[in-house]
């Protein structure tokens, strides 16, 4: 199969591209290499993919000429590219253009791919709002520009299934961790600052927040399992994550256990829109995809520490 992965040099996109290649597919990655975070890390991911025979195209999905530069004999599209997270440095226009306009452009291109079996949108638990413990049928209540625009992008994709123009689904991911996690994310920052004996900035009260910290390999298991299940997942929203909850404090303690040292903490003011609790309800994923994440928090942290030390220590 010929597969397009957007946001391919990012954290989860790069792991997905590698897995698809290992499964024998012909994989094309596309990424705009923006400077939201370290271009060094993005290039490191890109080099790892090219070494495995995955082609990477530098291209912004907000451009209107996608159909002119991308092949039209694509069988599957996995759409990771987005303006991520909750950040004071990102404007509403950043979220709007990268999450909504870019997705609309990609959908227009997808409709010209006559071989397309499935368009897979990568969503987020942030769509649910401050509490993300629900089944997919619950009405979403996003509490951030990120969540609002990712919900809009999701609906742009699913609209085409409702109109029977193509088959599509949306996978809502929960608190993904592991090797290649972005530098501003919790575990990479904890590992980095812990090794440097510098203080970790902890949002006030967030030590008690509950999260479904899910290992990236377990997420990719669920993502790639949609292949061959197009009829089952068409038009569906599906949660992917672990049902096991941990507090942020337990996450900090796991990193300390792997590093063998305490991490200094600097409490800073809380940020608006931050989720209080995420617990993946994966009944639907179990039923449709036989999804069963197994990696423990400590195993995930060990893998991430090994990766960080090998590449940045």
Say how many C-beta atoms besides its own lie within 10 A of residue 310's C-beta.
Answer: 9
In a domain, 265, yes or no: no
User: Per-residue pLDDT tens for 58-90?
Assistant: 999 999 999 999 999 999 999 999 998 777 678
User: Per-residue pLDDT tens for 118-144?
Assistant: 999 999 999 999 999 999 999 999 999
Task: Report the number of distinct structural domains present in the chain.
Answer: 1
User: From residue 45, how far is each of 41, 86, 107, 223, 307 by CA, in Å?
Assistant: 6, 23, 26, 19, 12
What pLDDT band is residue 218 in, cutting at 50, 70 and 90? very high
Residues 6+ apart with CB under 8 A from 136: 172, 236, 237, 238, 239, 281, 284
In a domain, 221, yes or no: yes
Averaged pLDDT for residues 276-280: 86
pLDDT of residue 206: 86
In a domain, 299, yes or no: no
In a domain, 255, yes or no: no
pTM metric for this prediction: 0.95
Which stretch of DSSP H or E encloses residue 24? Answer: none
The CATH number of the domain holding residue 97 is 3.40.50.720
In a domain, 83, yes or no: yes
Range of the domain at 113: 2-173+214-243+280-293
């Amino acid at each position: 199969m010929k597969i397009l992965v957007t946001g391919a040099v990012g954290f989860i996109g790069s792991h997905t591209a590698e897995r698809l290649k290992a499964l024998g597919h012909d994989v094309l990655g596309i990424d705009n290499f923006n400077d939201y975070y370290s271009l060094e890390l993005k290039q490191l991911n890109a080099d790892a993919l090219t070494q495995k025979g995955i082609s990477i195209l530098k291209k912004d999905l907000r451009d209107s000429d996608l159909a002119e530069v991308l092949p039209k004999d694509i069988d599957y599209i996995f759409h990771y590219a987005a303006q991520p997270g909750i950040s004071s440095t990102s404007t509403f226009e950043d979220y709007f253009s990268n999450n909504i306009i870019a997705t609309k452009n990609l959908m227009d291109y997808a409709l010209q791919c006559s071989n397309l079996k499935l368009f897979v949108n990568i969503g987020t638990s942030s769509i649910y709002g401050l509490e993300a413990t629900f089944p997919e049928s619950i009405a979403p209540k996003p509490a951030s520009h990120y969540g609002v625009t990712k919900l809009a992008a999701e609906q742009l994709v699913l609209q085409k299934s409702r109109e029977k123009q193509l088959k599509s689904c949306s996978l809502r991911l929960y608190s993904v961790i592991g090797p290649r996690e972005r530098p501003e994310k919790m575990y990479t920052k904890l590992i980095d600052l812990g090794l440097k004996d510098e203080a970790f900035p902890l949002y006030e009260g967030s030590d008690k927040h509950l999260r479904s910290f899910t290992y990236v390999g377990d997420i990719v298991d669920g993502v790639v399992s949609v292949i061959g299940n197009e009829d089952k997942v068409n038009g569906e929203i599906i949660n992917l994550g672990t049902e096991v909850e941990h507090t942020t404090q337990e996450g900090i303690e796991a990193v300390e256990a792997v590093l063998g040292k305490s991490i200094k903490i600097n409490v800073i003011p809380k940020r608006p829109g931050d989720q209080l609790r995420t617990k993946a309800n994966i009944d639907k994923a179990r039923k449709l995809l036989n999804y069963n994440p197994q990696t423990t928090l400590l195993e995930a942290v060990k893998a991430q520490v090994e990766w960080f030390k090998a590449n940045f220590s």
